[in-house]
C-alpha cells in the first residue's frame, strides 16, 4: 500500500520562485547487500524552520543524516543547499557549508571545560603559538548567550546533567556558524523538564534563522516543535510536508505502511486475591530511595513514573540486587529475598531488562543464541555442553512470540536493528520464565512497530501470571501499558493511581514535587498513546 | 532499476555461507601462513624436510601452549604479561622439587597445579574479584615473580636429569614426538572448553560486555579468575617443556614469551578487547610465526628481521580484519 501523494509532496512545500534552503533528491546508498537508501528526498523550504525526520529503525534515517553531514557519500542523488548543488566528502566539508550534526550518542569530553568542548577542533582562540584562554572563554560565552544558557564556561562537562551536555554539543554546533543543525534523537535520554529546556534552545535557534533538523521517535515532540516533516520508510521518502497536514495516525500509518494496528486491547484485570509476587517494605537506599513500600501481584503491570533522579531506575536496581539496600526488606513470592547480587535475584525468579541495551543488556559481539540463552543457563555447571537441540526450539519459540524473523541464530546481535536487539534482551529474560519482570525503559530508541509488539508481549506474559514492574520516562507508555502507576519524586512515593484514571498531564504534575520546576504540563498535546 | 538490484541483496544464509561467515577472521592469517610456507618451500629445499618441519613445530611448543592460555585471557578482554616470569618461577620450583628427591611425575603434577593456583589465585583474584586493572596486576606480578625467582635460585640455573622432562622433549609416542602430542592435546582441550562448554560462552560474554554478562547472572569474577588460572596452567606446561629442551631449569625471565603469545593471538583474529576470535586462529598465528622464524633462519636471514616482519604484519592483520568487519 503506497500513499498516492508521494510525488507531489516535495513540490507542495516549495514556495514559488525561490530556491529551497535544502533539497536532497533521489538519494540512494547501498552497503554490500543492504540497500539503506533507495530514492530518498528531503526538502526544507526556508531558514529558521524546525524540520522533523521520522522513520522506523532501519528506514534509512541515519544514512540520510550521514549523507547530509558528510559522513557518507551517496551512490546516487543530489544535495542542494540554497539552490547550489554540492557534494560533501567529509564532515568538515559539511561544516564549511554550515551543516553541523549533534550525534545521538553524546560526543563531549567530560574532563574538559565547557569552553574547550564548545571550541573543540582547534578553534580555541590563539595568540601566537599559545592558547588565549580569556578570549576563548569570551568566545564560548557569546555562543552560550545566543542559546540563553547561563553556564559558566569554566565548568567541567563531567559535572553537567545529560541535557546540559547536550546543550554544550548544540553550542559547539552553532559556534561553527552552522546554518543547519542536525539533532539525532536528542531527547532519547532526557526527561520532560529537560526536553522543555531543549525546545527553548531550539526556539531561540529558529528565531536566529538557524534551521534545525530534528529526529525523534516521540510524536508529541514532533508536533510540539516542528514546522514541517519528512517520513522515511524502507529507504524511501513516503511523504513530506508542513506539520499541520499530519496527525498521529497518518504519521504512524506512513511510517509502518499501514500494517500495524497499534492499539492493543487491555487484558483482563489481575485477580486481587493472590499473594504479591513482589513486595517492598520501607525500602531505603542511601542517596536515592526513602521509605518505599509497594507490592505487585501476579498478572499485574505496575508502572513507575518520575523525572530523572526520582529513583525509579534505582528502585529496580535495588530489587535486582545491583544497588545496595540500606534498610527495609524485599520479598519475592512471599518469602524474603536473600542477597547474592543479580545471580541471587535471578534464582529467586526476577528478570531485569536494563535501560541501556548496548551497555547493559546485550553482548553485542555475541550471537543471538548465546545472548538469548545466557540467563536461562547461567545457573548450570560451567563445564556442561550447551546443546543446540535443546536450545533451538526455545529460541524459535521466543522469536515467534516476539515476531523477530532471524535466519541465523549464530549471527552476532550487533547486526540486528535496534528494535530487534531490544526484543532479544527481553527474550533472554523470558527464556528463564521469571515470576517478576522488571523493565527499565523497555522501548527506548525502538521504532513504533517494535514498541507495539513489545507492549503486546509484556501484556501477554502478564496475563500468563507474571508480575511486571516497569519504569519509563514516557508517560504515554505507562498509561498504555500499566494497570497501576506509582509516581516517585526525589526517592519517595508521592502517589499511586489507577492508569485508567490518570492522564499524561496529571502524571507529570504529580512527578514534579513541590519546589521543582513544573515540566511540560500545559503544552498542547496532539499526540498520545504510542 | 534500484529495485531490480535489491532483489538479490539478501545476505547469504546457506550452510556454507554460515561457516564462511564464522571463520572469516581466520582468513588473513591463513593466507599469510600459506604464502610464507609456499615461499620457503620453493626457495629452500631443506624447509620441507621431515626433520625441519618437526623442528619448526617442537621448537615452538612453548609458544603454542602459552598462546592457548593467552587466548582465553584475551577473549575475556584482558592480557597476561606475567607468563614469562611465572614460567621461570615454576621452572625453578620444578628443579627444587626434583633436587629435594620428589619423583618426576609428582613434581610435574605439583608444578602444573601451582601454575593454576598462581595464575588464578594471584592474577585472577586481584583482577576478577578485586577489580584491579589487568595491566597493573600482571605487570606487578611479572616484576614480583622475577624478583622471587632470582632470590630463590640465586640466579643459578639448575641442571636437570629426569626421565619426565627428557621424554617430553625427545620421546616418541606412536612415532610422534611427545611435544607434538602435548601441542595437539592442549589444542583439542582448549577447543572443547571454548566451544563445547558454558564456561567458554562465559568467557566470550565477559569479553564482549562484562556488565551485560554480570546482569545476566554470569559469575564474571570466577570467569576472569579462571582465565588467569588457565594461563598459569599453560605457563607451567611450557616451563616443563622448556626444561626438557634445555636440560636445565633456568631462572632467566623471558619477557618475549607473553609478547609473542599476544602477537600470535592477535594475528589469529582475536579481538584485542575480547569477545570474539578463538584458539583456532591462535594455532594458525603460532604456526605463522614459527614458519617465518624457521624459514628466515634457514635462509640465513637475521632473526631481527623476523621481529620487524612480525610487527608490520601484526598491524596489517588487524587492519585487514577491521576492513573485513566494515565490509
Q: Is B268 helix (H, G, I), strand (E, B) or coil?
A: coil
Q: For residue B97, what pLDDT is reported?
A: 92
The answer to whether the CB atoms of B201 and A370 lie below 8 A apart is yes
What does the DSSP assignment read for A13-38?
A: HSPTTS--SEEEEEEEEEETTEEEEE
How does the average pLDDT of chain B come out, rounded?
86
Banded model confidence at residue A327, pLDDT cuts 50, 70, 90: confident
pLDDT value, residue B12: 41
Of the candidates B245, B303, B255, the one whose C-alpha atom is nearest the C-alpha of residue B81 is: B255
Asked if A385 and B219 come within 8 Å (Cβ–Cβ), the reply is no
The SS3 of residue A98 is coil
Q: Which residues contact A68 (CB under 8 A, 6 or more apart)?
A: A22, A24, A42, A79, A88, A94, A99, A101, A182, A213
**Mean pLDDT in residue range A118-145:** 84
Find chain B residues with C-beta within 8 A of A405's C-beta.
none
What is the percentage of chain B residues whose pLDDT exceeds 90? 46
Residue A525 is classified by DSSP as P
Say whether pLDDT at B296 is over 60: yes
CA distances from A463 to A301, A456, A459, B16, B170 (A): 9, 11, 6, 43, 69
Q: How many CA atoms lie within 13 A of B103 on its CB side?
A: 2
Say if the Cβ atoms of A366 and B208 lie within 8 Å.
Answer: yes
C-alpha to C-alpha distances, A175 to A100, A126, A167, A200, A300, nearest whole angstrom: 10, 16, 12, 18, 50
Residue A514 pLDDT greater than 70, yes or no: no
> CA nearest A365 in B: which residue?
B208
Provide mean pLDDT across the span A335-340: 79
pLDDT above 60 (res A263): no
pLDDT at B323: 66
- R_g of chain B, CA atoms, integer Å: 21
Domain boundaries, chain B: 26-326
- A73 and A63 Cβ atoms separated by less than 8 Å: no
- What residues contact A126, with CB distance under 8 A and at least 6 apart? A132
Residues with Cβ within 8 Å of residue B249, at least 6 apart in sequence: B91, B92, B94, B95, B153, B157, B158, B160, B239, B243
Q: How far apart are CA A49 and CA A16, in angstroms?
A: 17
Distances (CA, A) of A245 to A70, A248, A509, B80: 31, 10, 31, 63
CA–CA distance, A286 with A474 (Å, rounded to integer): 26
> Which of A466, A475, A478 is CA-nearest to residue A512?
A475
Backbone angles phi, psi at A71, to 5 degrees: -80, -30
**DSSP β-ladder status, A126-127 and A130-131:** antiparallel
C-alpha cell at position B72: 582465553
Q: Does the beta-carbon distance from B212 to A359 stay under 8 Å?
A: yes
pLDDT at B3 over 60: no
pLDDT class for A7, splitting at 50, 70, 90?
very low
Cβ proximity of B209 and A362 under 8 Å: yes
Which among A28-32, A168-172, A226-230, A257-261 has the top mean pLDDT?
A226-230
pLDDT at B187 over 90: yes
Return d(Cα A194, Cα A343) in angstroms, integer: 35
Q: Is A495 strand, coil or helix? A: strand
For domain B26-326, give the fold: ABC transporter involved in vitamin B12 uptake, BtuC (1.10.3470)
Q: Give the ipTM of the model, two decimals please.
A: 0.78
Least confident of A73-82, A159-168, A426-435: A159-168
The answer to whether the beta carbons of residues B34 and B226 sit under 8 Å apart is no
What the block records as the C-alpha cell of A245 is 497536514
Q: Determine how many CB atoms are found less than 10 A away from the CB of residue A250.
A: 13
Q: Which carries the bigger pLDDT value, residue B71 or residue B307?
A: B71
A4 Cβ partners below 8 Å, 6+ apart? none
The sign of the torsion formed by the CA atoms of A267, A273, A274, A280 equals: positive
- Given a cut of 50, is residue A264 above it in pLDDT? no
Quick one: average pLDDT of A430-434? 88
Q: Please give the pLDDT value at position A4.
A: 42
Q: Which residues pair with A281 in a beta bridge?
A: A329
**Nearest residue in chain A measured CA to CA from B195:** A385
Q: Cβ contact (<8 Å) for A384 and B197?
A: yes
| CA dist., res. A351 & res. A343, Å (int) | 10
Q: Which of A21-35, A45-59, B69-83, B138-152 has the lowest mean pLDDT?
A: A21-35
Q: Which residue has the higher pLDDT, A218 or B32?
A: B32
Specify the DSSP element, H or E, that contains A509.
helix A504-511
Mean pLDDT of chain A: 81
Contacts of A414 (CB under 8 A, 6+ apart): A364, A365
Assign A270 a pLDDT band (cuts: 50, 70, 90): low
- A440: β partners: A471
* Closest Cβ opposite residue B217 in set A31, A343, A363: A343
What average pLDDT does the segment B136-149 reach?
Answer: 93
Q: Under DSSP, is residue A485 helix (H, G, I), strand (E, B) or coil?
A: strand
| CB < 8 Å to B196, chain A | 385-386
**Interchain CB distance below 8 Å, B205 and A354:** no
Q: Grade residue B279 by pLDDT with cuts at 50, 70 and 90.
A: very high
Q: Which residue has the cell 599559545?
A: A130
Residue B119 burial (CB < 10 Å; 0-12/13-18/19+)?
A: buried
- A303 CB-near residues (< 8 Å, 6+ apart): A470, A471, A472, A478, A481, A482, A484, A485, A486, A499
| Rounded Cα–Cα distance for residues B19 and B17 (Å) | 6
C-alpha–C-alpha distance, residues B158 and B167, integer Å: 18
pLDDT value at residue A260: 42
Confidence of residue A157 (pLDDT cuts 50, 70, 90): confident
Are A251 and A241 in contact, with CB atoms under 8 Å apart?
Answer: no
How far B169 CA lies from chain A's nearest CA (Å)?
31
Nearest by CB to A342, which of B13, B217, B275? B217
Q: Do B204 and A370 touch (CB under 8 A)?
A: yes
Q: Is A149 within 8 Å of A167 (Cβ atoms)?
A: yes
pLDDT band at A13 (very low <50, low <70, confident <90, very high): very low
pLDDT > 90: percent of chain A: 11
Q: Which residue of B has its CA nearest to A407?
A: B13
Task: Give A322's contacts in chain B (Cβ within 8 Å).
Answer: 215
Q: Name the one residue in this structure whose C-alpha cell is 564462511.
A: B20
Q: How confident is the model at residue A480 (pLDDT cuts 50, 70, 90)?
A: confident
pLDDT tens digit sequence for A189-222: 677 777 888 888 899 889 988 999 998 877 788 8
Q: Please tell me what DSSP assigns to residue B11.
A: P
Say what the pLDDT of residue B183 is.
Answer: 93
What is the per-residue pLDDT for A273? 62
- Would you state the cell numbers that stand for residue B247, as one nine-digit string? 636440560
Please determine, for residue A18, whether its predicted confidence score (pLDDT) is greater than 70: no
Ordered by where they begin, the domains of chain A are 278-379+388-511 (3.40.50.300)
Nearest in space to A11 (alpha carbons), one of A253, A246, A235, A239: A239
Question: Please, which pLDDT band fits residue B7 given cuts at 50, 70 and 90?
Answer: very low
Longest dimension (CA), chain B: 83
pLDDT tier at A17 (50, 70, 90 boundaries)?
A: low
Closest to B39 measured CA to CA, from B317, B294, B285, B264: B294
What letter does residue A156 receive in the DSSP assignment?
B
Span of A47-51, A403-407, B72-76, B288-292 with lowest mean pLDDT: A403-407
A94-98, A302-306, A457-461, B20-24: lowest mean pLDDT where? B20-24
Q: Which residues of chain B make contact with A363, given a CB cutoff of 8 A? A: 204-205, 208-209, 212-213, 275
Give one DSSP letter per residue of B150-177, joined into a string.
HHHHTT--EE---HHHHHHHH-EETTEE
**C-alpha span between A423 and A466 (Å, rounded):** 17
- The tens digit of pLDDT for each residue in B211-245 reads 888 888 888 999 999 999 999 999 999 999 999 88
Q: Nearest 5°: phi and psi at A492?
A: -120, 155
A139 close to A175: Cβ distance less than 8 angstroms: yes
Amino acid at each position: 500500500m503506497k500513499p498516492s501523494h508521494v510525488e507531489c509532496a516535495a513540490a507542495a512545500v516549495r514556495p514559488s520562485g525561490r530556491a529551497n534552503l535544502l533539497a536532497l533528491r533521489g538519494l540512494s546508498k547501498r552497503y554490500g547487500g543492504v540497500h539503506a537508501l533507495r530514492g530518498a528526498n528531503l526538502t526544507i523550504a526556508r531558514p529558521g524552520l524546525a524540520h522533523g525526520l521520522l522513520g522506523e529503525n532501519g528506514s534509512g534515517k541515519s544514512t540520510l543524516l550521514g549523507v547530509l553531514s558528510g559522513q557518507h557519500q551517496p551512490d546516487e542523488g543530489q544535495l542542494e543547499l540554497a539552490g547550489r548543488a554540492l557534494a560533501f566528502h567529509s564532515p568538515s566539508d559539511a561544516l564549511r557549508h554550515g551543516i553541523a550534526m549533534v550525534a545521538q550518542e553524546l560526543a563531549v569530553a567530560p574532563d574538559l571545560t565547557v569552553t574547550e568542548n564548545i571550541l573543540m577542533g582547534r578553534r580555541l582562540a590563539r595568540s601566537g603559538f599559545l592558547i588565549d584562554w580569556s578570549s576563548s572563554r569570551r568566545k564560548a560565552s557569546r555562543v552560550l548567550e545566543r542559546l540563553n544558557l547561563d553556564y559558566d564556561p569554566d565548568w567541567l562537562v563531567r559535572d553537567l546533567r545529560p541535557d546540559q551536555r547536550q546543550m554544550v554539543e548544540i553550542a559547539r554546533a552553532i559556534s561553527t556558524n552552522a546554518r543547519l543543525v542536525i539533532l539525532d534523537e536528542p531527547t532519547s535520554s532526557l526527561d520532560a523538564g529537560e526536553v522543555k529546556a531543549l525546545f527553548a534552545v531550539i526556539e531561540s535557534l529558529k528565531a536566529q534563522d538557524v534551521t534545525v533538523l530534528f529526529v525523534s521517535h516521540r510524536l508529541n515532540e514532533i508536533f510540539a516543535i516542528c514546522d514541517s516533516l519528512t517520513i522515511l520508510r524502507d529507504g524511501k521518502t513516503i511523504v513530506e510536508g508542513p506539520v499541520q497536514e499530519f496527525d498521529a495516525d497518518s504519521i504512524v500509518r506512513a511510517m509502518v505502511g499501514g500494517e500495524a494496528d497499534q492499539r492493543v486491547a487491555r487484558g483482563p484485570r489481575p485477580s486481587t486475591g493472590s499473594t504479591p509476587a513482589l513486595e517492598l517494605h520501607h525500602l531505603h537506599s542511601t542517596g536515592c530511595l526513602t521509605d518505599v513500600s509497594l507490592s505487585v501481584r501476579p498478572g499485574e503491570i505496575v508502572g513507575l513514573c518520575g523525572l530523572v533522579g526520582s529513583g525509579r531506575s534505582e528502585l529496580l536496581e535495588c530489587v535486582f540486587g545491583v544497588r545496595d539496600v540500606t534498610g527495609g526488606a524485599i520479598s519475592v513470592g512471599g518469602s524474603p529475598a536473600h542477597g547474592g547480587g543479580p545471580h541471587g535475584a535471578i534464582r529467586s525468579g526476577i528478570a531485569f531488562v536494563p535501560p541501556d541495551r548496548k551497555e547493559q543488556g546485550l553482548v553485542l559481539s555475541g550471537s543471538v543464541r548465546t545472548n538469548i540463552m545466557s540467563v536461562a543457563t547461567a545457573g548450570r555447571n560451567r563445564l556442561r555442553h550447551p546443546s543446540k537441540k535443546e536450545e533451538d526450539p526455545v529460541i524459535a519459540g521466543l522469536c515467534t512470540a516476539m515476531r523477530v524473523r532471524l535466519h541465523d541464530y549464530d549471527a552476532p546481535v550487533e547486526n540486528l536493528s535496534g528494535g530487534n536487539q531490544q526484543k532479544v534482551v527481553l527474550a533472554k529474560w523470558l527464556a528463564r520464565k521469571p515470576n517478576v519482570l522488571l523493565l527499565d525503559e523497555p522501548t527506548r530508541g525502538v521504532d513504533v512497530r517494535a514498541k507495539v509488539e513489545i507492549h503486546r508481549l509484556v501484556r501477554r506474559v502478564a496475563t500468563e501470571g507474571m508480575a511486571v514492574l516497569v519504569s519509563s520516562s514516557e508517560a504515554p507508555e505507562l498509561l498504555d501499558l500499566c494497570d497501576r502507576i506509582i509516581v516517585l519524586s526525589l526517592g519517595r512515593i508521592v502517589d499511586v493511581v489507577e492508569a485508567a484514571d490518570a492522564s499524561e498531564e496529571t502524571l507529570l504534575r504529580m512527578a514534579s514535587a513541590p519546589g521543582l520546576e513544573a515540566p511540560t504540563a500545559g503544552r498542547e498535546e496532539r499526540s498520545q498513546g504510542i | 532499476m534500484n529495485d531490480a538490484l535489491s532483489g538479490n541483496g539478501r545476505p547469504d544464509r546457506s550452510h556454507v555461507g554460515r561457516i564462511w561467515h564464522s571463520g572469516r577472521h581466520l582468513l588473513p592469517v591463513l593466507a599469510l601462513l600459506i604464502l610464507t610456507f609456499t615461499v620457503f618451500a620453493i626457495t629452500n629445499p631443506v624447509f620441507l624436510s621431515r626433520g625441519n618441519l618437526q623442528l619448526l613445530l617442537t621448537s615452538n611448543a612453548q609458544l603454542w601452549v602459552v598462546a592457548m592460555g593467552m587466548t582465553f585471557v584475551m577473549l575475556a578482554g584482558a592480557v597476561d604479561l606475567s607468563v614469562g616470569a611465572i614460567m621461570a618461577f615454576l621452572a625453578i620450583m620444578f628443579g627444587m622439587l626434583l633436587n629435594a628427591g620428589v619423583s618426576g611425575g609428582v613434581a610435574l603434577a605439583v608444578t602444573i597445579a601451582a601454575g593454576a593456583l598462581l595464575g588464578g589465585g594471584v592474577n585472577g583474584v586481584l583482577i576478577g574479584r578485586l577489580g584491579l586493572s589487568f595491566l597493573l596486576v600482571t605487570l606487578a606480578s611479572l616484576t614480583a615473580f622475577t624478583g622471587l625467582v632470582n632470590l630463590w635460585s640465586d640466579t643459578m640455573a639448575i641442571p636437570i636429569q629426569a626421565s619426565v622432562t627428557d621424554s617430553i622433549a625427545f620421546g616418541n609416542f606412536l612415532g610422534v614426538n611427545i611435544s607434538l602430542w602435548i601441542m595437539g592435546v592442549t589444542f583439542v582441550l582448549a577447543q572443547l572448553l571454548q566451544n563445547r562448554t558454558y564456561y567458554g560462552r562465559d568467557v566470550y560474554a565477559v569479553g564482549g560486555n562484562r556488565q551485560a554478562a554480570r546482569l545476566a547472572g554470569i559469575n564474571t569474577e570466577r570467569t576472569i579468575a579462571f582465565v588467569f588460572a588457565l594461563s598459569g596452567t599453560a605457563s607451567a606446561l611450557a616451563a616443563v617443556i622448556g626444561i626438557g629442551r634445555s636440560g636445565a631449569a633456568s631462572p632467566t625471565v623471558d619477557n618475549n614469551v607473553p609478547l609473542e603469545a599476544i602477537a600470535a593471538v592477535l594475528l589469529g583474529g582475536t579481538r584485542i578487547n575480547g569477545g570474539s576470535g578463538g584458539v583456532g586462529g591462535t594455532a594458525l598465528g603460532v604456526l605463522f610465526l614459527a614458519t617465518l622464524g624457521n624459514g628466515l633462519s634457514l635462509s640465513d636471514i637475521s632473526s631481527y628481521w623476523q621481529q620487524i616482519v612480525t610487527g608490520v604484519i601484526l598491524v596489517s592483520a588487524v587492519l585487514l580484519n577491521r576492513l573485513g568487519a566494515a565490509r
